[in-house]
A and B are shown apart, each in its own frame.
Chain A
C-alpha cells in the first residue's frame, strides 16, 4: 500500500532538535530550550491555524488577523483583572477556573468581531488578493485604534496566575509550568482541527467546498454560511492564541497583533498556505529556532526565522505542504 503521507517535513522538527544538541552541550539545557521552543511553537500554531484555515479554505489573505490576537489578549486582561482572587490563589484548579473563562471570553469576542470583519471588510473583496491585502490592512488599523480607544494606548501587564508560575524539574532540566500547559493546549487544538477536517461531515463539506464550491451548493448545502463559520472559527482561534501569547509575554500592547503577524506569516510560508499540518511544522520550527539561536547566538535570534524561511523556500518554493491549487 502506498502511503500518501509526506513525512519528510514532520521529520525536520526532531532532526533540527537533535542537530543542535552537540552545540548546546549540556542535555538539561537542551531539554529546557527544546520544551520552551515547542511551547512557543504551539502558541504560534494556535494563532497561525486560524489564518491558515481562512486562507486555505476561503482563499482570503487576511493581513488583519493580528488584530484578533490583540483583541483576545486585551479581553483576557479585563477578565483576569476582574478575577484577582482566583488568579492570586496558588491552587492550579482555581487558576484554571480563571483562565478558562478568560479564554472563552476572548474566543467569543474575537469570533464576534470576526463575524463583523468578514461582513464589512472581507466580503466585498472575495476573489481579489490585492484588494484583500489592502482592505484587511485597513481593518487592522481600525481595530488597533479601537483597542486603544477602549483599553488605552499603553502596555498592560498580564501576569500568569500564581499557580502557573515557576518551574518543574524534569531530571536536571528546569521547565516552566506554563510552557507545558501551552504544549497541551496546542496539541488539543491541532487534534481537534485535524479531526474536524478529516473525520467529520462538516470537515468533508468544507474540503469539498474548497474543491468545487458550485457542486456542493448544487447538492443543497449553503456553503456561504459554512465559510462564514470558518472565518469566525479562525478569528476565535486567534483570540485564544492571543490569550496564550499574552500570558507568555506577560504583557500586552495594542501593536502586538502587527508584531505577531510577522511571525505567523513566516510560519504559513514555511508550512505552505492553507495546510494545518504545515502550519504546525512551521510553527514548531520557528519556535525551536528562536529559542536555540536566542541561547547560542543571541544577536542572530531575530534573523533566524527569516534564514529558516529562506532555506525552506529554496527546498520547497511552495512551502513544505503546498496545497495543490
Chain B
C-alpha cells in the first residue's frame, strides 16, 4: 500500500523519512497545536509551495531544463480562480470553471513555448522563458479591467471555505478557514504523490535519460522534443493548480503575490536547497524555507537591534536584507551541496549501508 502510494520511491534515508513524517504531522496539527493566524498562514504557504516547487523540480531536476516562466503558470492558476470568483460570485461552479480555464490556458502556452523554444538551442530556453515571464507580468498589470492591475483582486470564496462559516468541532468553535486549510492539505498531498508517480514512471525515466545525455536518448529512439514538451506541459499544469490553491487561501491575488520574480527566486532557492531531482527535496525544502523565510526576518530584527551601534553590520542584518543571506546560502549550496538536503541525506544513508556490508 505504502509502496504503491510512494511509487516505490522510498525516502531511502532514515533521517529523511523521519523528517517527512514529522513535516506531515506538523502540517496536519498546526491549526490545533499552534494558535494564531501567522502559523496557519505559514503552513498554508508551505502546502502551496510544496506543489509549486515539486512541479518545477519535474522540469529542472528531472528533465534538466531551467525555466524562468514557472511563475507565469502559477499566476495563471491564481488569476483563473480570482477572476472567476470575482466575476461569477463565490460558488463552486465558478471555482471549477476558473481552474479549468486556467489549466487550458497554461496547456496552450506551455505547448507553444515548448514547441517554439525547445527546438532552438537548449541554452536559449531559460533566456526566452525569462522574457516571456517579464512580458506576462506586465500584461497582467496592464489588463487592469480583468486583473485589477497593480492593486490585484480581492474576492470571496465559497461559503464553506470562508471565515464566516462557523461550526463546532470537539466542542471548539471552528470556521471555514480550517476547512479550506484541510482541503489544501489533501490536495497538496495528492498532487505531490501524483508528481512522484510521474517521475517514477517509464516516462520519468526517459526524462532522466534526456537530462543525463540528450544525444544518447535521441539515439535510442526517444523523441527528445516530445518528451521535453510533455514535461514542460505537465509541470505547467501542476504549477497552475498550485496557483489556484494560493488564490483560494489568500482570497486576494495581485501581480506581486503570484507573478513576481521574487516568487521565481524562492522556487529556485527551495529546489536547489532541498535537492534537485527528488520530489521529496521540494517538499522538505519548501517546509524549511518558508518557515525560515517567515521567522528568519524576526531573528534578523533581533540581531540587527543588538548591533545597532555598528551601522554597517546593522544594515547587513536588517530584516529587509534576509534575501542576501538566502542568496549566500544558495550559492554555497550549488557549490558545496549540489544534491541538496535530500541528496546529502540519501548518499549518507547509502554510505552507511556500504560500510556495514564491508
Name A residues whose Cβ lies closer than 8 Å to a Cβ of B.
Answer: 61, 63, 121, 124-125, 129-131, 133-135, 137-139, 141-142, 145-146, 148-149, 153, 258-259, 261-262, 265-266, 268-269, 273, 299, 302-303, 305-306, 309-310, 313, 317-318
Contacts and interface: CB of A to CB of B under 8 A. Distances in A.
Contacts of B123: 61, 129, 273
Contacts of A153: 320
A153 B321 CA distance: 10
Contact of B131 (A124, A125, A133, A305): A305
Interface in B297-326: 312, 315-316, 318, 320-321, 323-324, 326
Interface of B: 64, 66, 116-117, 119-121, 123-124, 126-128, 130-132, 134-135, 138-139, 142, 261, 265, 268, 272, 312, 315-316, 318, 320-321, 323-324, 326-328, 330-331, 334-335, 338
B130 A265 contact: yes
A142 B327 contact: yes
Nearest to A129: B123
Contacts of A134: 66, 268, 272, 330, 334
Given A262-B130, A310-B116, A302 B321 contact: no
A121 B331 contact: yes
B335 A135 contact: yes
A133 B126 contact: yes
Contacts of B126: 61, 63, 133
A61 B124 CA distance: 10
Contact of B121 (A121, A139, A303, A318): A318
Contacts of A130: 64, 66
Contact of B328 (A142, A258, A269): A142
Q: Which 8 A-B pairs have the closest CB atoms?
A: A141-B327, A145-B324, A265-B127, A138-B331, A142-B327, A138-B330, A317-B120, A262-B134
Contact of A313 (B120, B321, B330): B120
A226 B132 CA distance: 35
Chain B binding surface SS class: helix
B132 A133 contact: no
Contacts of A268: 127
B120 to A, nearest CB: 4
A130 B61 CA distance: 10
A259 B137 CA distance: 12
A311 to B, nearest CB: 11
A153 B315 CA distance: 11
Residue among A135, A146, A153, A299 with the highest chain B CB neighbour number at 10 A: A135
A265 B131 contact: yes
Nearest to B127: A265
A262 B127 CA distance: 8
28 contacts: A61-B126, A63-B126, A121-B331, A129-B123, A130-B66, A131-B338, A135-B334, A138-B327, A138-B330, A141-B323, A141-B326, A141-B327, A142-B331, A145-B321, A149-B318, A258-B261, A259-B134, A261-B130, A262-B131, A262-B134, A265-B127, A265-B131, A266-B127, A273-B124, A302-B139, A303-B139, A309-B128, A313-B117
A134 B326 CA distance: 13
B331 A135 contact: yes
Nearest to A302: B138
Nearest to A317: B120
Contacts of A309: 128, 131
A142 B135 contact: no
B315 A269 contact: no
A125 B327 contact: no
A303 B135 contact: yes
Contact of A302 (B119, B135, B331): B135
A67 to B, nearest CB: 11
A137 B334 CA distance: 11
Given A131-B338, A145-B323, A149-B316, A317 B119 contact: yes
B321 A137 contact: no
Contacts of B117: 313
Contacts of A258: 261
Contacts of B138: 302
A310 B126 CA distance: 15
Contact of A137 (B64, B124, B268): B268
B94 to A, nearest CB: 29
B66 A306 contact: no
Contacts of A259: 134
Contacts of A149: 312, 315-316, 318, 321, 324
Contacts of A310: 116
Given A135-B334, A262-B130, A306-B135, 7 more contacts: A138-B331, A142-B324, A262-B134, A273-B123, A309-B131, A313-B120, A317-B119
B321 A318 contact: no
B328 A266 contact: no
B334 A306 contact: no
A318 B320 contact: no
Contacts of A303: 135, 139
A129 to B, nearest CB: 6
A204 B167 CA distance: 79
A138 B119 CA distance: 28
